[in-house]
Amino acid sequence: MGRPAATTAEASVVDVASIEDAWIAGSLERCAVGEGVVKGLREGALARLATARMPNQRIEEYRFTDLAPLVTQKPSKADPALAAGVDASAWTLAEADKSRVVLIDGVFSEALSNLSGVGSAITVGAVSVGAATSDALGAVSGTHGGIFVDLNAACASDVIVVTIPTNTHMTTPLHVLQLSTASGEGCSASAPRLVVDVGQGASLDLVEEFACVTGTGKQSAYWLNGVCDLTVGANASVKHSMVQNQTRAAVHTRATYVTQGEESEYSLAEISVGGRIGRHNLHIKQLGPRTVTSLACFNLSGAGQCLDLHSSVVLDFEEGKTDQVRIGAFPNPGTLFQAPL
């Protein structure tokens, strides 16, 4: 007997009977959101997912990432009712008190966010409350992404859109706080989506933080599967910081796609300490000469954790520069590992 089609809250149908991989089919049946807010990407994503297979360690790109803690679960869409009682006061950044975006299970929380200090020239908003989508949405991730990007496109229920106009400089950091509720019943799932377009000669300090509303002490299983499309215009500058502090029962998968214009600068400082699995796929492409990319990653992992950054930087032009440093700390006290460049 074939698998049934999944009917979402929007009364749209995902024909999971056509999906060859049983785990993907089940996840789409429980988590897909109809046309969703990335409907322009959704059709292609579903077509690719129809014949896709969940990666395993026999595949080169995933030989260090064992996805068994995820594929043995049955992820289901997070309960939106749990967002009503969330207290986000434990996660603050003083410099961004008036430039903070809060997402609960991938959905914008207007009540917990404060964008009063962003300034009229800069646009920061959510598609769920009327923000227009950006041309940068899926421009790279939609064609060069992988299975987790496609799952995000099928399951995302909101998109945060950030637009910094030409020659505009945001004077405070933009703090994007992404919280998961983790109800404790089964494995809840969310698919946050962020698109950032920084215009020519503009600048942005972007801080992303990932955590669970119950704190790190609770061991409820949940899966955050996020995607960020980031465009850095010519002569623009972006300083990007990421802090991942999920619970030890969580699965954190994230894909970041960055394109850099001529003579632009992009720097990423990433710290990962949480999650049973923490997997970050990072793809950066320089689009012009004299472009600078700086990447720094620190993973602190304990017993039973797998924290993996899989990065690629494409330099096709003269005088392009990249600087990458990765440091991992493991359970044995004082043991550090610095990956070769």
Where do the domains of the chain lie? 80-338
Question: Residue 284 has what pLDDT?
Answer: 96
Question: Residue 189 has what pLDDT?
Answer: 95
CA–CA dist 35, 157 (Å, integer): 9
Helix (H, G, I), strand (E, B), or coil: what is residue 148? helix
Question: Residue 12 has what pLDDT?
Answer: 44
Which candidate, 288, 289, 291, 233, places its Cα nearest to that of 265?
Answer: 291
Q: What is the mean pLDDT of residues 301-326?
A: 92
Average pLDDT, the chain: 88
CA–CA dist 53, 50 (Å, integer): 9
Of the chain, the percentage scoring pLDDT greater than 70 comes to 90
Question: Residue 218 has what pLDDT?
Answer: 59
Question: Residue 167 has what pLDDT?
Answer: 98
CA–CA dist 122, 92 (Å, integer): 22
Q: Are 199 and 164 in contact (CB under 8 A)?
A: yes
**Residue pLDDT, tens place only, 156-190:** 989 999 999 999 999 999 999 999 998 777 899 99
**Residue pLDDT, tens place only, 99-140:** 999 999 999 999 999 999 998 899 999 988 888 888 888 888
Q: How many residues does the chain have?
A: 341
Which candidate, 141, 128, 124, 101, places its Cα nearest to that of 254?
Answer: 141
Question: Residue 186 has what pLDDT?
Answer: 86
Confidence of residue 37 (pLDDT cuts 50, 70, 90): low
Beta pairing class for 123-126 and 193-198:
unpaired
| DSSP helix, strand, coil percent of the chain (3-state; round to 5) | 15, 40, 45
Question: Residue 135 has what pLDDT?
Answer: 83
Question: Residue 7 has what pLDDT?
Answer: 36
Question: Residue 36 has what pLDDT?
Answer: 62
Question: Residue 299 has what pLDDT?
Answer: 92
Question: Residue 331 has what pLDDT?
Answer: 61
Q: Are 151 and 38 in contact (CB under 8 A)?
A: no
Q: What is the mean pLDDT of residues 289-318?
A: 93
Question: Residue 269 has what pLDDT?
Answer: 97
Q: What is the mean pLDDT of residues 233-261?
A: 96
Q: What is the mean pLDDT of residues 12-28?
A: 84
Least confident of 10-14, 46-50, 146-150, 248-252: 10-14
Q: What is the mean pLDDT of residues 69-83?
A: 92
Which candidate, 109, 123, 149, places its Cα nearest to that of 257?
Answer: 149
Q: What is the mean pLDDT of residues 19-32?
A: 93
In the block, residue with structure tokens 């990765």: 326
Q: What is the mean pLDDT of residues 289-301?
A: 95
Of the chain, the percentage scoring pLDDT greater than 90 comes to 70
